[in-house]
Amino acid sequence: MRHLSASILCLLLSGSLQATQSNTPSQAYNWTAGPDLPMALQEVYPAVFNERIFVGGGFTPSDSPSFSGLGPSTDVFLLNPAKEFWTKAPSLPAPRHHLGMVSNRHFIYGIGGFTGAKGSAWEIQNSVFRLDGNLQTWRTGPSLPIPLAESVYANVGKNIHVIGGKTISRETGKNVDTDAHYVLINNSYWRKLKSASLVRNSAASAVIGHKIYVIGGRTSGQDGANLSYAEVYDTKTETWTPIAPLPVASGGLSASVLDGKIIVSGGEVFGPKDNWQAGKAFDVVWAYDPQTNQWQALPDLPQPRHGHGSVSLNEQLHIIGGAAKVGPQETLSSTLVLTPNVDP
C-alpha cells in the first residue's frame, strides 16, 4: 500500500490544511422537501438507473436489530421524479447495510457492504448483486477481489470503480481501512488500479467527465479522525492529484454533481477513540468548482444529516435518508431537493 508521509498525514487527520474558500453562503440554490421514503434508512449509497433514483439496503429500525436498534435491510425503492413518490423495487437477495449502489447503462449494482446478526453486525462482504433494465430480479455479479464496505463507488463510461473503505486484514482478521482501488471491466471482471493516496473510509465521491473526485472521510481505530483531504483520479492517465481540501473535515458525508460543481453535504464526527456517542452530525453544505479549485459555502441543510445518499437527476440534487444525529440515532425517511435558482 502507498501512504503519505507522517507529517502530511497528521495535518490531514486534524483537518488543519486550509482550503481556498468563500464562507458566505451562496443564494444561487434552494432547498425544498422531496417525497418521503416508505421507511427510515441510513448508511445508503443511492444511484440513478434508467432515469430513476434507486436506494436499497441500509440500516433501518428493526424488531430484531443487529446494532443499536437498527438492522440491515433487503428493501429497495425507486423514485420517478415525475410521479413524486417512491415505489417498491425488487428486494435484494440478502440484507446489507452500507451497500454501495452504482450503475452503468446495462445494470444497477449493489456492491459489498456489511451484514451480520447482533454482535457481528460488521461482517464485510465481497458480494455483488445486479439488476438489469427489466427490473425483475437481482442476480449475482462478479464478486469483489476482496471484501469491501464504506468505500466510494463511481461509474466512468461503462466501467464501475470501487475505491477505499474497509476490508478484512489478512494478518489479524479484523476490519481495517484500505486504499484499494478496483474497476469492473465490461461488467465481467475486476482489475486492480492505482491505489488512492491514503487509507480511509466513509468518504464522498463524484464524477465529472473522466475524473473521479474523492473527498473527506475518516480513519478508524485508536487514532482515528475525520479527514479534509480531497483528490481526483484521472481515468485516462491513471493518476491521483490532490485538490483543495474540504473546508470542514467530515466522514459519513455525501456528494453529487449539480450545475458543473460538486455539492458535498452533511457528515459527522466521532468523539475520541471512535466514540460515536461523543460526536455530532453536520448540516453544512459546500460546493467545489473544479475550474477554480475553490470551495464555496451553500445554504445549510434544514437539519444535520449523515449516512445519507445524494444523486443528481433532471438538474436537481436529491438528498435521501440518513440520520439527524451522530451514529445510529434518529434515522430519517425524509428526502430533500436542491435546485439552482433561475434568474427571471
What pLDDT, on the 0 to 100 scale, is given for residue 272? 76
What pLDDT, on the 0 to 100 scale, is given for residue 224? 84
Asked if the structure places residue 191 within a domain, the reply is: yes
What pLDDT, on the 0 to 100 scale, is given for residue 7? 35
Question: What percent of the chain lies above the pLDDT cut of 70?
Answer: 91
| pLDDT above 50 for 4 | no
Number of structural domains, the chain? 1
What domain range includes position 101? 29-340
* Low-confidence winner among 80-89, 150-159, 202-211, 255-264 (lowest mean pLDDT): 80-89
What pLDDT, on the 0 to 100 scale, is given for residue 13? 41
Is-contact 112 100, C-beta < 8 A? Answer: yes
Q: What are the backbone angles phi and psi of residue 232, rounded to the nearest 5°?
A: -130, 140
Asked if the structure places residue 16 within a domain, the reply is: no
pLDDT per position as a tens digit, 149-182: 999 999 999 999 999 999 999 999 999 999 999 9
**Where residue 220 sits, what CATH number does that domain have?**
2.120.10.80
For every residue of the chain, which 3-state class applies, written as one string? CCCCCHHHHHHHHHCCCCCCEECCCCCCEEEEEECCCCCCCECCECEEECCEEEEECCEEECCCCCECCEEEECCEEEEECCCCEEEEECCCCCCEECCEEEECCCEEEEECCEECCCCCCCEECCCEEEEECCCCCCEECCCCCCCCECCEEEEECCEEEEEEEEEECCCCCCEEEEEEEEEEECCCEEEECCCCCCCCECCEEEEECCEEEEECCECCCCCCCECCCEEEEECCCCEEEEECCCCCCCECCEEEEECCEEEEECCEEEEHHHEEEEEEECCCEEEEECCCCEEEEECCCCCCCECCEEEEECCEEEEECCEEECCCEEECCCEEEEEECCCC
Q: How confident is residue 276, by pLDDT bands cut at 50, 70 and 90?
A: confident
Asked if the structure places residue 99 within a domain, the reply is: yes
Mean pLDDT for the chain overall: 92
* Low-confidence winner among 87-91, 187-191, 276-280, 282-286 (lowest mean pLDDT): 276-280
| pLDDT above 80 for 273 | no
Average pLDDT over residues 35-53: 98
| pLDDT above 60 for 6 | no
pLDDT per position as a tens digit, 7-35: 334 444 434 344 456 655 666 889 999 99
Asked if the structure places residue 80 within a domain, the reply is: yes
